[in-house]
Structure 1
């Protein structure tokens, strides 16, 4: 499989749904699952570095949940890295969410694709995602 340039984005919210922190970055990916795994891995690193626990992860990608639960031979190293990071978290849940509820992550991903940008973490709401938050 050939790699293509892509983007990742994610957001952390508190138990009331309020923005805590967001992230985005450019990646090289060979499949949608590969992109989702990279987003999960980067999000877990941010969560660990910022001590954002307990953590509940929502994804619209059932293949991501399946890969974490039962493995994936094409992306075994990345799956194992995510599993290792997840074990470091306390009270971690990975569950399915519908695309409509994941609008902020999609806006962050689309924004990073418009320009080559290194990995960024936002402590404050990125103005380009305000529509999706409020």
Structure 2
């Protein structure tokens, strides 16, 4: 799978990882229109569920986009349920309602953020960061540069290298 280029915009890939029955991490990577790293994040959420982790990661991406005033951004998630919740216009009831509302408000305020589904295979770096998040202390950690061992996945996502590699971060 190669990096999907969007002319004149940034792309934020987002993913979550679950370890055991409830340890959840979330990760994301913001890239320029050539697929190069702009920034990333790892969020060790402690105990949660995968849908809440996905939505929390998307909210984190929206917050970084707003805080840093990035221009046009496409957020890609491999969780169709989360993308549908955000893209819909109906209120979301229950535990997810507040976070979906916060995401929708951020997207509306910015005016140039879109959220879409992408298959997991197009999210190698985000998936790796979500797994790596489980090794971080609890909370969200902004990454100004790629973590060690992440560079090869960035090249793979861009279609620039097809060597054998582990997608599990090393401890």
- What is the TM-score with the length of structure 1 in the denominator? 0.88
State the alpha-carbon separation in 1 of the partners of residues 46 and 108 from structure 2: 26
How big is each residue's C-alpha offset from its partner over 1:59-88, in whole Å with a ceiling of 9 and x where there is no partner? 111101111123432311111011111112
Relative to structure 1, the CA distance from residue 92 to residue 114 in structure 2 (aligned partners, 3 Å threshold; closer, same or farther) is: same
From 76, 89, 102, the counterpart of 1:58: 76
Structure 1 alignment gaps of length 5 or more: none
State the alpha-carbon separation in 2 of the partners of residues 113 and 81 from structure 1: 25
From 112, 116, 121, the counterpart of 1:91: 112
Given that 1:29 and 1:35 are in contact with CA atoms closer than 8 Å, whether structure 2 keeps it comes out as: no
Q: Which has the higher helix share?
A: 1
From 106, 109, 118, the counterpart of 2:130: 109
Per the TM alignment, residue 49 of structure 1 is displaced from its structure 2 partner at its CA by 1.0
Stretches (4+) displaced over 6 A: none
Relative to structure 1, the CA distance from residue 105 to residue 85 in structure 2 (aligned partners, 3 Å threshold; closer, same or farther) is: same
Structure 2 residue matching 1:58: 3-state secondary structure: strand
How big is each residue's C-alpha offset from its partner over 1:25-61, in whole Å with a ceiling of 9 and x where there is no partner? 1114543211110000111111111111211111111
State the alpha-carbon separation in 1 of the partners of residues 52 and 144 from structure 2: 26
Greater Cα radius of gyration, structure 1 or 2: 2
Aligned-residue Cα RMSD (Å) equals: 1.8
Given that 1:10 and 1:24 are in contact with CA atoms closer than 8 Å, whether structure 2 keeps it comes out as: yes
Structure 2 alignment gaps of length 5 or more: 1-20, 156-171
